[in-house]
Amino acid sequence: MKILFLGDLFGRAGRSAAIDALPSIKRRLKPDCVIVNAENAAGGFGVTSQIAEAVFEAGADVITLGNHAFDNREIIPHLAQENRIVRPANLPKGAPGRGSTLIETKSGHRVLVINALGRVFMNPVDDPFSTIEAELEACPIGTACDAAVVDFHAEATSEKCAMGHWCDGRATLVVGTHTHIPTADAQVLPRGTAYQTDAGMCGDFDSVIGVEKSEPLRRFITGMSSGRFEPAVGEATVCGVFVESDDATGLATRIAPLRIKGRLIQTWPDTEAAPVSLEA
């Protein structure tokens, strides 16, 4: 099957670019499942039910969140009703919403989507490794689901790399979000899990990780703030990853980055490239 994952939608620029681009991306790549991280979609902090519905209408099958999951209180009742929105699974018990979901796509594929927060340089949460392990063991690829995708919302590249190897052979894709900068390490790990440390954001890269430059610069240079962070509003780049997997095993055969529009060097996945062989 084919899976498209888009990185953090940041503010109006990022969400508009992703929503506008999704129909044409889907026509070109023909993904069976589209997953979008939207935890910065509402002014850079959280998501609203209205924005979530717009993302679904554009073609997303699942929305993942992160450390800003509850910044917009309006979304909290919606999380209990909407099984297509996933907040981090390793939040304390009693947190609203769900940390994973199993959906059936229009093509008939069963896709498990898990969201989790890292702990390095982040606010305290439960252990993401044991949390994700429990989710994967409860719904193994190749039997209970056709694909399993882990959105690991974390700060440290080392923690993200460790998560990729921890899940190798048990997940179809482990992809990092949160740091907003696309990394150049897209690969299929030795046991068949597609991995990229960070998918990058859908946002204006003439910015400081999506934020209009003046306030972050002031804080770095003077150590003082003069107001809140505001999303940059220039033309956004749409960033993500595209994965193909073996329907029989659920393991990945190909991963490629996607970057279109905006300021970054453009790249489309090469769907004609030879798949990765997992044979020794």
Choice among 68, 78, 153, 178 that is catalytic: 68
Structure tokens at 43: 């002014």
Q: What angle do CA 212, 155, 70 make, to 5 degrees?
A: 70
Contact 256, 249 (CB under 8 A): no
Question: What is the identity of the amino acid at 218?
Answer: R
DSSP per position, 256-278: EEEEESSSSPPB---TTSPPPP-
Contact 259, 265 (CB under 8 A): yes
Q: Is 68 a catalytic residue?
A: yes
**What is d(CA 98, CA 86) in angstroms, rounded to the nearest whole number?**
6
**What is d(CA 233, CA 244) in angstroms, rounded to the nearest whole number?**
33
Helix (H, G, I), strand (E, B) or coil at 179: coil
Angle between helix 157-167 and helix 128-138 axes, rounded to 10 deg: 30
Give catalytic residues, as residue numbers.
Answer: 68
